[in-house]
Structure 1
Amino acid sequence: MTERDATRAVELRVIDERLHEWGLPRYQTEMAAGIDLHACIDTPLTLQPQAPAVLIPSGIALLMNDPYMAAVLLARSGLGHKKGLILGQSVGLIDADYADQIYISAWLRTPPGSAPLVIEPGDRVAQLVFVPILRPALRVVEAFSSETGRGLGGFGSTGYGSAATRSPASK
């Protein structure tokens, strides 16, 4: 941990004591961006393809208590890509003032008829990444004070495909 990280201490409260056996959430490598979260369930959980999302307790609560910090829940790449496990809301946002247990909303995106996924107690099922937050003051205006090259261009307005072969003008 660097000195810079130490000034941003986050309190972690263990709710499920089994985490002491399985391993507290931690960075798996020196350069890992996220910490893995365990499925703190009592019995195996079978997820059926395309079934409604379920809430999986993580066994921890955090107190960031810093308006310029938040945490995001992300799917673990291996489970998402290889097994089809994704988060119920794609990305979960944990606000700095939320201090209760973190739950992982998850479902199985594989087609109906595919094999179910069984999550065992203690499996690492998601990752948590801490992110800085900007909180700008919003100023209501009648018109913007300057223009951009893009202007009001929305979806697809900057082109598609290779920049060398397709441009907005060639649509």
Structure 2
Amino acid sequence: MTLKIQRLTPTAVLPERATGQSAGLDLRADIGQAVTLPPGGASVFPTGLAIALPEGTVGLVFGRSGLGIKHGIAPSNAVGVIDADYRGEVRVGLTNHSDKPYTIEPGERIAQLVVTPVLLPEIAEVSSLDETARGAGGFGSTGRG
């Protein structure tokens, strides 16, 4: 499988895996100057890249664990979804959930892109659903937590 990537700016950095077995490709901020996110603040960061995902896949944009755990910086929408037919710039919304400002530097790794297969089922309205042992039990219905 090949992931086709177009640089939209000369400063854009192609995504890469930190190790050979990394599931995610690191995405970098393609910004001309540092941007500080105040506590509770949010901003959208360009990557300077457009991608052509293979048909039957989806790109999922996840946070980087170091940014989240150490600094409280996480994607604004929890997980970004890039559909296979999207050809615009990949941008990453980040929110500062900490009580301290955090500065995103030009070229900093801000998120990771995971490309995975996606199922595209047909939708069928039914009058009832099959019964299961769990039934309609929701949050916490299978035990503590």
* TM-score, normalisation: structure 1: 0.80
Larger relative contact order (CA 8 Å, sep ≥ 6): 2
1:12 aligns with 2:1: no
- 1:47-82 alpha-carbon deviations (Å, 9 max, x no partner): 10112x21100110001151x200011111111111
CA distance in 1, matches of 2:19, 2:133: 42
> Of 43, 50, 53, which residue of structure 2 is paired with 1:61?
50
Q: How does 1:61-100 map to 2 (within 5 A)?
A: 61-66=50-55, 68-100=56-88
Instruction: Calculate percent identity across the aligned residue pairs.
Output: 39
**CA RMSD between the two structures:** 1.3
Q: Residue 104 of structure 1: SS of its match in structure 2?
A: strand
- 1:134-160 alpha-carbon deviations (Å, 9 max, x no partner): 11222221122x311011112221121
Moved over 2 A (4+): none
Length, aligned pairs only? 145
> Of 131, 151, 154, which residue of structure 1 is paired with 2:116?
131
Larger CA Rg, structure 1 vs 2? 1
Higher helix share: 1
Higher strand share: 2
Tell me what 1:28 maps to.
18
- 1:69-127 alpha-carbon deviations (Å, 9 max, x no partner): 0001111111111111111111100011110101100011012xx2x111111111111
Question: Mind listing any 5+ residue stretches in structure 2 that lack a counterpart?
Answer: none
* TM-score, normalisation: structure 2: 0.94
